[in-house]
Amino acid sequence: MAAALRGALWGCLLLCVSGIVPKPRNARISSVNFRSVLLWDPPGVRKGNLSYTVQAKSIFPKQNFNNVTTNLNVTECDVSSLSVYGAYVLRVRTEWEDEHSDWAVVRFKPMADTVIGPPSVNVKSESGTLHVDFTGPAADREHDKWSLKQYYGSWIYRILYWKKGSNKKILSRSSILLALSGTK
């Protein structure tokens, strides 16, 4: 607590005395099923209304930075519109009046960095038989839902279950075949 207070006071002193605007802290990407958001913590300074500018550039082919958004008053920016097949450098800076901070930089490769969420599962017991239906996760892309199978090809779900009163795990061959199809 004391260290945080010292940091905030030091940051305020820098801003007040020298006009230096501290850069955002802890810039990071949160990406699940290609829903990708650049997040950051505000600098330890609270003087007036701080805003942020976010820029992105493609690494291959190499491009110049382009504004994703400017004059942002929150500490997050949706970057889901970037191509899932690209590799990017994202950066964010703090702005206050006519001054700005250095950039906080994050590298991002959607295909490698997104977390694949779990499938939707529907379990039904009917006449002593257990029916397990599942659908692979989907990516929300510009008002459409696309199966992640379109991006990654096929993948396998492993279904384990236990018989009542037993501690032994069972993996049935029919479950594997269901899993390979990735659909109901």
Q: What is the pLDDT of residues 128-156, one digit of tens each?
A: 887 878 788 888 766 677 888 788 777 77
Residue 9 has pLDDT above 80, yes or no: no
DSSP state of 75: S
* The pLDDT of residue 149: 79
| Rg of the chain in Å (alpha carbons) | 24
Residue type, 55: Q
Average pLDDT, the chain: 80
Phi, psi (deg, nearest 5) at residue 66: -125, 145
Kindly list the distances between the CA atom of residue 128 and the CA atoms of 31, 122, 125, 131, in Å, as whole numbers in the listed order: 40, 16, 6, 10
Q: Quick check: is 2 in a domain?
A: no
Q: The pTM is what?
A: 0.73
Kindly report the number of other CB atoms within 10 A of residue 93's CB atom.
19
Domain end (from 84, 113, 142): 113
Per the structure block, which two tokens stand in for 123? 């379990």
* The pLDDT of residue 124: 86
**pLDDT confidence tier of residue 170, bands split at 50, 70 and 90:** low
Q: Quick check: is 93 in a domain?
A: yes
Termini Cα distance of the chain:
52
Q: Please indicate whether residue 2 or residue 64 has the higher confidence score (pLDDT).
A: 64
Beta bridge partners of 47: none
Domain end (from 62, 88, 113): 113
Give me the domain span that covers residue 99. Answer: 21-113
Q: Please indicate whether residue 31 or residue 10 has the higher confidence score (pLDDT).
A: 31
* CATH number of the structural domain spanning residue 145: 2.60.40.10
Q: Please indicate whether residue 41 or residue 137 has the higher confidence score (pLDDT).
A: 41
- What share of the chain in percent tops pLDDT 90? 45
Q: Please name which of 82, 5, 72 lies closest in space to residue 39, comparing C-alpha atoms.
A: 72
